[in-house]
A and B are shown apart, each in its own frame.
Chain A
Amino acid sequence: MNLRRDVFQAIADPTRRAILLLVAAQSMTAGAIAANFDTARPTVSKHLQILTECELLEQKQNGREVYYYINAKSMKQVAEFIEPFRKMWDDRFNLLETIMKNYTIKE
């Protein structure tokens, strides 16, 4: 059974972020990805496993090779997770603007 890992913990690691950048440009095999790093191959495999478990990467069989693809849907979630925070500040600032516009009228 695969543990569903925390997406944000996954992207906090610099090597994993580098892997995502690589694969985002082009789908690649584990070997081709590992060739881009000085890190030992099993370490890269471990990173790939984590990224796959939290569904940031997808594996697809292509003949005898397994290719890694970026999961665009999950990456979009990563970008969207700050939206509620942004909305909260935007609401506050809209209110601030309304209040201060009224303030000028009163003075």
Chain B
Amino acid sequence: MELKTKISAEDGKQELTITREFDLPLALLFKAFTEPEIIEQWMGTKVLKLECKKYGSYQFETSDGKGNVVFRANGVIHEVSPNYKITRTFEMENAPFGVQLEICEFEQITEGTSKLNMHVIYESGEKRDQVLKLPFKQGINMAHNRLQDIVSKLNTSR
């Protein structure tokens, strides 16, 4: 099946672009980036802190089944323009990838569909490629497990 997410990462550049069209109204897409409980669900991580405003910051943390912290990330927020744009930094803690700048732009296509354009700039081309070559298989499996959890919760609550 064709993936709806497109990534453009030119050779030798220190940036990349992630684009995706959603079958969601613009306001709902934007909300998924600003509400901690919702971010926790789709990112598959715990949101320790999120002040979604200018001068704000955030902290994510993921633990394995035994309670060991396997992933921690943080960043600061430079701009939050509702239904339009979020500019923030992202840093994976205890990892050699440096800080990346993320410019997320949100756009309405029709009343019920919207588009996200994420422009990510790394410290160097080398760091970008290191991040791209991370073993994502684990992350993917975690996302699948999260999806199963959520779906089963939805079913039992009905």
Q: With an 8 A cutoff between CB atoms, is B147 at the interface?
A: yes
Which of A81, A85, A96 makes the CB contact (< 8 A) with B42?
A: A96
A103–B143 contact, CB under 8 A? no
Using known A-B contacts A86-B5, A89-B20, A103-B38, determine if residue A12 contacts B11 with beta carbons closer than 8 Å.
Answer: yes
Q: How far is the CA of A99 from the CA of B147 in the complex (A)?
A: 9
A99–B132 contact, CB under 8 A? no
Q: With an 8 A cutoff between CB atoms, is A101 at the interface?
A: yes
Q: Nearest chain-A residue to B147 (Cβ)?
A: A95
A93–B143 contact, CB under 8 A? no
**Within 8 Å CB of A14, what residues of B?**
12
8 A–B pairs (Cβ distance < 8 Å), ordered by A: A13-B12, A90-B3, A93-B5, A93-B20, A95-B143, A96-B29, A97-B22, A98-B150
Q: Nearest chain-B residue to A93 (Cβ)?
A: B20
Which parts of B51-92 form the interface with A (CB within 8 Å)?
none
B4–A95 contact, CB under 8 A? no
Q: With an 8 A cutoff between CB atoms, is A91 at the interface?
A: yes
A29 → chain B, closest Cβ, in Å? 25
Q: How far is the CA of A39 from the CA of B99 in the complex (A)?
A: 36
Q: With an 8 A cutoff between CB atoms, is B7 at the interface?
A: yes
B31 → chain A, closest Cβ, in Å? 7
**Within 8 Å CB of B49, what residues of A?**
none
Which of B7, B28, B38, B125 makes the CB contact (< 8 A) with A86?
A: B7
B38–A93 contact, CB under 8 A? no
Using known A-B contacts A99-B41, A99-B150, A102-B154, determine if residue A88 contacts B140 with beta carbons closer than 8 Å.
Answer: yes
B-side interface size class: 35 or more
**Within 8 Å CB of A103, what residues of B?**
28, 31, 38
**Within 8 Å CB of B24, what residues of A?**
97, 100-101
A11–B143 contact, CB under 8 A? no
A96–B12 contact, CB under 8 A? no
Using known A-B contacts A11-B11, A84-B136, determine if residue A95 contacts B146 with beta carbons closer than 8 Å.
Answer: yes
A107 → chain B, closest Cβ, in Å? 10
Chain A to chain B: the 6 pairs with minimum beta-carbon distance, closest first: A90-B5, A96-B42, A84-B136, A91-B143, A95-B42, A90-B3
Q: How far is the CA of A33 from the CA of B31 in the complex (A)?
A: 54
Q: With an 8 A cutoff between CB atoms, is B101 at the interface?
A: no
